[in-house]
Structure 1
């Protein structure tokens, strides 16, 4: 008898010879999905909101709620229990909406169609610097029967399909072809609203009754603050308008002179490298060049028609520069005249703006911002999390810079419109992944828990998807990352690749070593990558199946960005595991709150569950506790804390 047939007779085998997953664990993994970025679905969560004890005493408990699971990025809503009927728009109905909002329909009908579509996709655009007098007079600021005190609502006509780029915005054929070559067909939520805002004429974007107030030339554009989920396609949303703007400027020039007109800042070298690579793919065969700023590079001299330096090889001048604030600031500091090389920059992009304007990078970022002397400079800020303090700081810098550079006329020029775009629920984690909080008690318990994730047992009865390689492990410090790497180095058997399957990445490594680890992880040669928050921001690993917070994140924003390394572009099946010990209990409230909100969006009821008990049992964090955690992390894992208790107990 064939032993293989005997052992596998209860398993369905594909024609390709691969074994199917058992029905009880039939979960699509992010690494197995090759879909293009998808928009957020019009799902409605039937999970009741979190109730406080006070509300529970005031209101009687009534009615059962359904578990309508909402796919955050557009795979539709799935009802797993009895629930009220939910209307889901099909692709055909969406096409009908597009036809109804075409140019042959009355303008007021187009406006209503735009409002309906934006609300369906949970998009909110607000004009922030309209002016107090005009804002108080405007009746259009009433939203759902309430006054929007933050500004004037704006309803740009959304762009749902990239096939409309050429006809609607006159974007060059080559640029449109490059977009198609990368597999972009349907715009994600942030692209759906941000592209029209950054490409279209401000006079067509802003509300008709207050558009005249801005007194801004169409060519000057707008300033934009964007808050959108991790993995939602923000990079393309700010790169495409840049390329279009540069291409348009070149058409108007008689002489082809290469000038650096756009600057993109990002907090890490890995993210800078990723943006540069995406820019080069988007600008292929367009003549528009993108370069990453590196140490020792000089800015200022033209390149010849082939893109080669006509003088010193270290001298570079391209259309778009991508840099970290530290690298660019050091160049300005060492060679003062280099600041003149950026006098033509008319667009500044801050990717992961909340970090760039945080105290760690604030001085360098604002220093570069102030050196950009072009009066027509337009700014856009992008992140998955952006607190009100960051928004206020950005607004104050824009306003003070405008006052400083405005012409000395009797009638001062008004600033460009400053708009804010919020996609979905602000500062929330993507709900299309599984969030797990696991109490491990001690450091030894956390290590044991991580080893169990590396070697899961088939008899595990834990509900939900299991964590499978490749995945990323986050630690609090570089020393802990290196120590954990040494501890796990031989946990993968030689038959499966051994020590080559586990790697560590942190800022103490050389640029060459960091680049090598990134390349190997993207190729799938590395299965477990241990790192710090260096990789928590913006870096796109589409095939990552999970994230492990070996050390708890320092803030709710840090948790959102860490777990956002999986579930990219709407991929399902990702798992985010947070291991916490007794030292972490005092700081776990912010993580539990983010997880609760994410589960609510997914349609998982919190009230009456163990998660509700956990939320109520965890101690509240004071503002001092939050600041202390953000600056220093958990003390037990710092050098000082380890000196007190080397065993971590």
Structure 2
């Protein structure tokens, strides 16, 4: 099947061809016709399956069909809500690429950046708005956004949006749009809370499921190293010196861990940068740009910061800390071996992470390849490290309360 068969018109086809895409992916093939029929749709697909184009192309096509309408000031006809800034920026890039030969206008708004320039762009009028929930509601409160003309509402990465606590914001945004709108919900997984949200706001939705939620790419070699927690940094340096080459993303569970590893790698003369939630939007964007340009070849990230990052030429993923949610492992390693390429995932497992490995292997129905031949093996009998405090007890007598806590008691509000 080609994009032409999906009733996509010439200006969009030309831009798609120039972007290097010949044929639609499975998720695009299944989703685009349903969107063009103005049906509500729930799509379950992993990142890297081409799902942004699965909603971007039919939205552009629908808006292009209405271009004969009188050219009054542009109003927001399509609203795409995205959980993270990086993902929102990336979706905007996609829309701009595919609409290069149309006069449709797209913009993106997100928190962590100055609000005034965003207001200015909105004042000029846009057809397609991509937004993170918080900034969208802020601008709506300030009367800078009118959602009365929204025909299509897209909730992208719905599972992550709910994990990040945006459920009330999403419901509020849905209520601010017109009642007749079409809703497209995209999610890597469809847990119970996503199902509940879908049931409450979608109208007889069609479902598209591409590959099992647990599926990992056949092109990724998945290697496992059992290693004592304090030796993970040494193992990482050993592998970077001897084994792992090319463009690499290293995942850590905490922002502190990301910063610590970045400093160590830079001290050892590696070209590394990092992204996590405490970094400014500019710093995160710069890190991504440097990585994509090849100015640094190692990017260290937390899961939320890395979700939805689109990097095609990725040779390896290192799970420095194993995720406690097995689906997160699938997301992480799905960043390598995209578009038919091959890749390698290296996972470091300390004694206290063995249960995570069990859950991951159950989810993906696959035994990871254990690499025993490395300099920092974990003693099979090693017990998880339990951090205990050296304090022998409180200096206050039992039952005695500090002045501050007595004051707190009086605060009834």
Instruction: Compute the TM-score of the two structures, normalised by the length of structure 1.
Output: 0.54
* 2:251 match: 474
Distance 1:173 1:239 in 2: 15
Match of 1:484 among 249, 253, 261: 261
User: CA, structure 1 residues 590+185, in 2 after alignment: closer, same or farther (shift >3 Å)?
Assistant: same
Partner of 2:133: 325
Aligned match of 1:576: 345
Aligned length: 377
Aligned to 1:266: 82
Match of 1:563 in 2: 333
1:504 aligns with 2:258: no
Per the alignment, residue 524 of structure 1 pairs with 294
Larger Rg: 1
Partner of 1:371: 176
Q: Give the direction of change, closer, same or farther, for the CA distance of 1:225–1:532 in structure 2 (3 Å limit).
A: same
SS at match of 1:417: coil
Per the alignment, residue 163 of structure 2 pairs with 358
Alignment partner for residue 66 of structure 2, among 249, 254, 269? 249
Change (3 A) 1:287 1:382: same
Distance 1:428 1:535, change over 3 A: farther
Using a 3 Å threshold, how does the CA distance of structure 1 residues 536 and 594 change in structure 2: closer, same or farther?
Answer: farther
The answer for the alignment partner of 2:394 in structure 1 is none
Are the aligned partners of 1:473 and 1:547 in contact in 2 as well (CA < 8 Å)? Answer: yes
Cα distance in 1 between the residues matched to 2:289 and 2:164: 31
Write the mapping of 1:134-213 to structure 2, written as runs, cut at 5 A.
160-165=1-6, 169=7, 171-199=8-36, 201=37
187 and 530 in structure 1: CA distance in 2 versus 1, 3 angstrom threshold: same
Quote the residue 1:137 is aligned against.
Answer: none
Q: 1:266-415, aligned counterparts within 5 Å?
A: 266-294=82-110, 295-297=113-115, 315-333=123-141, 335=142, 337-338=143-144, 341-358=146-163, 360-372=165-177, 374-398=178-202
Within a 5 Å distance, the mapping from 1:450-465 to structure 2 comes to 450-456=236-242
Partner of 1:114: none
Partners in 2 of 1:161 and 1:585 — Cα distance? Answer: 46
SS at match of 2:92: helix
1:538-571: CA deviations, max 9, x gaps? Answer: 2110011111111111312211111111112222
Deviations for 1:351-408, whole angstroms, at most 9, x for unmatched residues? 1111113352222222212221x1211111113222243123211233xxxxxxxxxx
Structure 1: gaps (5+ residues): 1-159, 202-220, 302-311, 399-415, 457-465, 493-497, 600-605, 612-617, 619-634
CA distance, structure 1, for counterparts of residue 118 and residue 238 of structure 2: 55
The answer for unaligned runs of 5 or more in structure 2 is 372-379, 391-413
8 Å Cα contact 2:42/2:207 also seen in 1: yes
User: Secondary structure at the residue paired with 2:209?
Assistant: strand
- Deviation per CA, 1:42-85: give whole Å up to 9, x if none: xxxxxxxxxxxxxxxxxxxxxxxxxxxxxxxxxxxxxxxxxxxx
Aligned-pair CA distance for 1:642: 6.7
* Cα pair 2:123 2:144 within 8 Å, conserved: no
CA distance in 1, matches of 2:180, 2:163: 25
Cα deviation code 1:598-648 (max 9, x no counterpart): x7xxxxxx9xx989xxxxxx9xxxxxxxxxxxxxxxx98xxxx87859xxx
> Retained in 2: the 8 A contact 1:231–1:567?
no
**Residues 218-258 of structure 1, C-alpha deviations (whole Å, 9 max, x = no match):** xxx2111111233111111110011011111223x234541
Given that 1:261 and 1:346 are in contact with CA atoms closer than 8 Å, whether structure 2 keeps it comes out as: yes
Matches of 1:570 and 1:258, distance apart in 2: 40
Q: Is the 8 A contact 2:252 2:300 kept in 1?
A: yes
Q: Is the 8 A contact 1:563 1:576 kept in 2?
A: yes
SS at match of 1:229: coil
TM superposition shift of 1:434: 1.0
SS of the aligned residue for 1:273 comes to: helix
Contact 1:476 1:533 in 2 (8 A): yes
Distance 2:216 2:165 in 1: 23
Distance 1:610 1:300, change over 3 A: closer
Paired residue for 1:431, among 197, 207, 218? 218
1:643 to 1:348, Cα distance in 2 relative to 1, 3 A = farther
Change (3 A) 1:229 1:431: farther
RMSD of aligned alpha carbons:
2.7
Contact 2:3-2:22 within 8 A present in 1 as well? yes
Q: How does 1:69-148 map to 2 (within 5 A)?
A: none
CA gap of 1:513–1:642, structure 2 versus 1, over 3 A, is farther
